[in-house]
């Protein structure tokens, strides 16, 4: 049974930020920046994108004015929280020359403690997917595991879906039933501006107990439910059913070469995808050759080096690279990790400079069957 719902008034939301900061969290939330909403360090609700919405399509994104006071009236930010939990560049260790060999120096810096505010259901689903990737097998990524264990998640449910969203068809949103510490649904009705709040963990309950709140009114709960329903029903895109089996059977489809004409192998889709995790190792020395360092950097299945083995790259054509990306996300990810690698956030569609749409490509492959 979920906990009984309470509401936090808009004017009391600042206390949540203060409390989290007092407990040693670095608060990260959505913020307008350079014509988009991004996740960034924020210290109060005043920095949230008040009254700002977002307009999205394949290869297109603009901020809009909503004409209300909502703080979370946008959808998912440009890049996911992957950039915090699994940074684009991570120094793994360094080494110093010692005699004829070398000595490894471990980097012992403590991992940050993030409180993520305004996390959407698709984002949380993506974290649960990456948990399986980095912590699910016998070899746990210790840095990720520690950052993940340290973090606190304040989920916010969506009041509408963006044009590129398709979480409903992936079963990954717009509502979430587990994995968050607090869940907020923002309700604005005339001068009433409240957050219907629920705790989803002991950490969340402890925080909620220290915040000033009232019992939710019937109208609040109904409005929150209606918003969520609008977000689910209003989705303009959907992933076709049975896509995992379909793609597994279509590895030789002529459609891959059709995508190859449009796809630039630029890697934007993999960079913005909140579940993509491919990386490369970079070993570097200093000029004297006395010190060395190993860094892990995001890479992409669209790069040639990524599939380079003795004798050359395995994926030589743009069609082969796009096929790798799409079939991994939607098909063999399921065999590998037990879930789909796509949470339907639509980021790859929006931030593809030529607007290639993973839902439309899936449909085209189905039609060509």
Partner 1 sequence: MSAREKPRLGVFKFSSCDGCQLSLLDCELELLAVTDAVEIAYFLEATRKDMKGPFDVVLVEGSITTPHEAELIRQIRKSSKVLITIGACATSGGIQALRNFADVNGFLDIVYARPDYIETLDTATPIADHVQVDFELRGCPINKYQLLEVLNAFLNKRKPNIQNYAECIECKQRGTVCVMVAKGVACLGPVTQAGCGGLCPASHRGCFGCFGPMETPNTTALADRFLNELGQDKGTVLRAFRSFNANAPAFREESLKHE
Nearer to ligand SF4, 265 or 279 (CB): 265
Name, in order, each residue with C-beta under 8 angstroms of 34's C-beta and a sequence gap of 6 or more. Answer: none
Q: List 196's β-bridge partners, or say none.
A: 7, 185
Residues 157 to 196 in contact with ligand SF4, rule: CB under 6 A: 158, 161-162, 165, 167, 173-174
Q: Does the footprint of ligand SF4 cover residue 350 (CB under 6 A)? A: no
* Residue 78: contacted member of partner 1, ligand SF4, none (CB under 5 to 8 Å, by partner type): partner 1
Q: Which of 15, 19, 21, 38 binds partner 1 (CB under 8 A)?
A: 38
Q: How far is the CB of 289 from partner 1 (least distance, A)?
A: 5
Buried b (16+ CB within 10 A) or exposed e, 91-101: eeebbeeeeee
Q: Which of 215, 252, 305, 335 binds partner 1 (CB under 8 A)?
A: 305
Residues 302 to 341 in contact with ligand SF4, rule: CB under 6 A: 302, 329
Q: Does the footprint of ligand SF4 cover residue 224 (CB under 6 A)? A: no
Asked if 290 contacts 105 with a C-beta cutoff of 8 angstroms, the reply is no
* Residue 89: contacted member of ligand SF4, partner 1, none (CB under 5 to 8 Å, by partner type): partner 1
| Conformation bin of residue 112: beta by default, left when phi > 0, alpha when psi is -120 to 50 | beta
Q: Does the footprint of partner 1 cover residue 257 (CB under 8 A)? A: no
How big is the site for partner 1, counted in residues (CB under 8 A)?
45
Name residue, tokens 């220290």.
210
Q: Does the footprint of ligand SF4 cover residue 29 (CB under 6 A)? A: no
Q: Does the footprint of ligand SF4 cover residue 343 (CB under 6 A)? A: yes
Q: Binding segment for ligand SF4 among 181-189, 195-203, 268-276, 283-291 (CB under 6 A)?
A: 268-276
């Amino acid at each position: 049974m979920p906990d009984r719902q309470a509401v936090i008034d808009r004017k009391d939301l600042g206390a949540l930020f203060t409390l989290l900061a007092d407990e040693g969290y670095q608060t990260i939330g959505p913020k307008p920046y350079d014509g988009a909403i991004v996740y960034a360090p924020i210290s109060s609700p005043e920095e949230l994108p008040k009254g700002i919405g977002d307009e999205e399509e394949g290869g297109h994104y603009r901020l809009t004015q909503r004409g209300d006071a909502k703080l979370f009236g946008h959808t998912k930010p440009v890049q996911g929280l992957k950039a915090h939990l699994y940074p684009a560049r991570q120094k793994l260790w360094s080494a110093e020359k010692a005699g004829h060999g070398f000595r490894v120096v471990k980097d012992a810096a403590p991992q940050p403690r993030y409180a993520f505010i305004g996390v959407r259901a698709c984002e949380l689903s993506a974290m649960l997917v990456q948990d399986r990737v980095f912590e699910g097998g016998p070899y746990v990524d210790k840095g990720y595991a520690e950052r993940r264990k340290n973090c606190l998640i304040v989920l916010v449910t969506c009041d509408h879906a963006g044009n590129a969203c398709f979480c409903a068809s992936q079963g990954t949103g717009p509502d979430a039933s587990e994995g968050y510490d607090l869940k907020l649904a923002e309700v604005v009705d005339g001068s009433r501006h409240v957050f219907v709040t629920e705790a989803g963990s002991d950490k969340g309950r402890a925080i909620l107990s220290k915040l000033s709140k009232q019992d939710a009114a019937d109208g609040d709960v109904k409005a929150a439910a209606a918003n969520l329903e609008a977000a689910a029903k209003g989705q303009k895109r959907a992933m076709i059913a049975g896509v995992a089996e379909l793609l597994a059977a279509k590895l030789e489809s002529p459609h891959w070469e059709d995508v190859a004409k449009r796809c630039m192998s630029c890697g934007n889709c993999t960079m913005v995808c909140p579940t993509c995790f491919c990386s490369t190792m970079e070993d570097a020395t200093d000029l004297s050759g006395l010190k060395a360092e190993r860094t892990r950097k995001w890479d992409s299945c669209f790069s040639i080096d990524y599939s380079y083995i003795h004798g050359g790259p395995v994926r030589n054509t743009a069609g082969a690279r796009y096929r790798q990306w799409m079939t991994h996300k939607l098909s063999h990810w399921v065999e590998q990790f037990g879930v789909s690698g796509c949470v339907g956030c639509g980021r790859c569609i929006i931030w593809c400079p030529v607007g290639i749409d993973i839902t439309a490509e899936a449909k085209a492959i189905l039609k060509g069957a």
